[in-house]
Structure 1
Amino acid sequence: MAQPPSTLFFDCVVVGSGNAGFCAVHSAVENGCSRVLIADTCPESWAGGNSYFTAGAMRTVHGGLQDLLPLVNNVPPEMRDKIDLDPYTSANYTNDIMRLGQNRSDPALVKALVDDSRDVIGWLKEHVGVRFMLSFHRQAYAVNGRQRFWGGLHLSTEDGGKGLIEDHRRKAGEEGVEIWFDSPAIRLIVEDGAVKGVVISCAGVETPIRATGVVLASGGFEANPTLREKYLGAEWKEARVRGTPYNQGDGILLASAANAAHYGDWAGCHSTCWDAAAPRDRGDQVLSNQFTKSGYPLGLMVNADGKRFVDEGEDMRNYTYARFGRKILEQPGGIAWQVYDAKVVPLLRKEEYADEVVRKIRAETLDSLADELVQDGLLDRGAFLHTIEEYNAALENVPNPPGFNPAIKDGLSTQSEHGGLQLPKTNWAQTVDKPGFVAVKVSCGITFTFGGLRVDPKTAGVLDEQGKRVEGLFCTGEMVGGLFYSNYPGGSGLTAGAVFGRKAGREIGKSVTKEHSQSQ
Structure 2
Amino acid sequence: MPTRTFNFDVIVVGGGNTAPCAALTAHENGARVAIIEAGPRDERGGNSRFSGTAWRFVHDGKDHLLPLLDAEGLKEAERCSMAPYTAEDFTADMLAKSGGRHDRDEIRTIVEQGYHTMKWLAEHGVPFKLPLNFWVSHEGKHGVQDLASGVPVVTRDYGRGLADAMWKAAEQTNVQAFYSMPAHDLIMDGDRVLGAQARSPRGFCEFYGNIILACGGFEANPRMRRQFLGNGTEFAIVRGTRFNTGVMLERALAAGAQAQGHWGGYHCAPQDVDAPKIGDMKTLDKWERYSFPYYIMVNKAGKRFVDEGEDELSLIYSKVGAAVAQEQDAKAFQLFDRKTAHLVNEKYLTYGTPVEDDTPEGLAKKMGINIDNFMQTVKSYNAATSKDHSKFDPYTNDGLSTTDGCTPRKSNWALPIDSPPYTAYALIVGISFTFGGIKTNQSGQILNNEDNMMPGLYAAGEITGGFYYG
TM-score by length of 2: 0.96
In 2, Cα distance between equivalents of 1:476 and 1:299: 38
Aligned to 1:135: 131
Task: Flag the 1:450–1:79 CA change in 2: closer, same or farther, 3 A.
Answer: closer
Task: Flag the 1:192–1:238 CA change in 2: closer, same or farther, 3 A.
Answer: closer
In 2, Cα distance between equivalents of 1:194 and 1:95: 39
Q: Note if contact 1:219-1:251 (Cα within 8 Å) is conserved in structure 2.
A: no
Q: Which amino acid aligns with 2:335?
A: V
Tell me how far 1:367 sits from its aligned partner: 2.1
Q: Where do 1:468-483 residues align within 5 Å?
A: 468-483=452-467
In 1, Cα distance between equivalents of 2:104 and 2:153: 24
Aligned to 1:57: 54
CA distances 1:77-118 after superposition (whole Å, capped 9, x unpaired): 776554220111111111111110011111112112222111
For the pair 1:461 / 2:459, whether they are aligned, the reply is no
User: Number of residue pairs matched?
Assistant: 468
Task: Flag the 1:172–1:263 CA change in 2: closer, same or farther, 3 A.
Answer: same
SS at structure 2 position matched to 1:447: strand
In 1, Cα distance between equivalents of 2:187 and 2:281: 34
CA distances 1:212-256 after superposition (whole Å, capped 9, x unpaired): x11101111111111111111112112111111111111211212
In 2, Cα distance between equivalents of 1:110 and 1:414: 35
SS at structure 2 position matched to 1:197: strand
Q: Which amino acid aligns with 1:291?
A: W
Task: Flag the 1:99–1:256 CA change in 2: closer, same or farther, 3 A.
Answer: same
Aligned to 2:289: 293
Q: Which amino acid aligns with 2:433?
A: F
Aligned to 2:231: 234
Q: Note if contact 1:308-1:387 (Cα within 8 Å) is conserved in structure 2.
A: yes
Q: Which amino acid aligns with 1:164?
A: L
Point out the structure with the larger helix share. Answer: 1
Q: Which moved more, 1:47-56 or 1:191-200?
A: 191-200
Give RMSD over aligned pairs.
Answer: 1.9
Q: Which moved more, 1:20-29 or 1:65-74?
A: 65-74
In 1, Cα distance between equivalents of 2:330 and 2:467: 28
Q: Note if contact 1:188-1:257 (Cα within 8 Å) is conserved in structure 2.
A: no
Task: Flag the 1:422–1:257 CA change in 2: closer, same or farther, 3 A.
Answer: closer
Q: Where do 1:396-411 residues align within 5 Å?
A: 398=386, 403-411=391-399
Q: Note if contact 1:15-1:217 (Cα within 8 Å) is conserved in structure 2.
A: yes
In 2, Cα distance between equivalents of 1:185 and 1:162: 24
Task: Flag the 1:450–1:189 CA change in 2: closer, same or farther, 3 A.
Answer: same
Aligned to 1:413: 401
Tell me how far 1:342 sits from its aligned partner: 1.1
Aligned to 2:431: 446
Q: Where do 1:313-462 residues align within 5 Å?
A: 313-350=309-346, 352-354=347-349, 356-374=350-368, 378=369, 380-395=370-385, 398=386, 403-415=391-403, 419-456=404-441, 458-462=442-446
In 2, Cα distance between equivalents of 1:115 and 1:139: 27
Task: Flag the 1:221–1:412 CA change in 2: closer, same or farther, 3 A.
Answer: same
In 2, Cα distance between equivalents of 1:14 and 1:336: 40
SS at structure 2 position matched to 1:343: helix
For the pair 1:87 / 2:75, whether they are aligned, the reply is no
Task: Flag the 1:5–1:17 CA change in 2: closer, same or farther, 3 A.
Answer: farther
Unaligned runs of 5+ in 1: 487-520
Aligned to 1:246: 243
Task: Flag the 1:77–1:208 CA change in 2: closer, same or farther, 3 A.
Answer: closer
For the pair 1:120 / 2:117, whether they are aligned, the reply is yes
CA distances 1:387-412 after superposition (whole Å, capped 9, x unpaired): 111111111xx475651101111000
Tell me how far 1:474 sits from its aligned partner: 0.8
Q: Which amino acid aligns with 2:445?
A: G
In 2, Cα distance between equivalents of 1:77 and 1:118: 17
Q: Note if contact 1:62-1:87 (Cα within 8 Å) is conserved in structure 2.
A: yes
From 305, 308, 317, the equivalent of 1:312 is 308
CA distances 1:173-210 after superposition (whole Å, capped 9, x unpaired): 10122111211111111124211111122324111121
Tell me how far 1:7 sits from its aligned partner: 6.4
Q: Which amino acid aligns with 1:361?
A: V
Tell me how far 1:164 sits from its aligned partner: 0.7
SS at structure 2 position matched to 1:137: coil
In 1, Cα distance between equivalents of 2:163 and 2:109: 24
Q: Which moved more, 1:201-210 or 1:137-146?
A: 137-146
Q: Note if contact 1:341-1:436 (Cα within 8 Å) is conserved in structure 2.
A: yes
Q: Note if contact 1:362-1:436 (Cα within 8 Å) is conserved in structure 2.
A: yes
Q: Where do 1:68-83 residues align within 5 Å?
A: 68-73=65-70, 80=77, 82-83=79-80
SS at structure 2 position matched to 1:195: strand
From 271, 275, 281, the equivalent of 1:274 is 271
Q: Note if contact 2:364-2:374 (Cα within 8 Å) is conserved in structure 1.
A: yes
Aligned to 1:158: 156
Task: Flag the 1:263–1:6 CA change in 2: closer, same or farther, 3 A.
Answer: closer
In 2, Cα distance between equivalents of 1:481 and 1:56: 20
Tell me how far 1:420 sits from its aligned partner: 3.6
In 1, Cα distance between equivalents of 2:400 and 2:327: 27
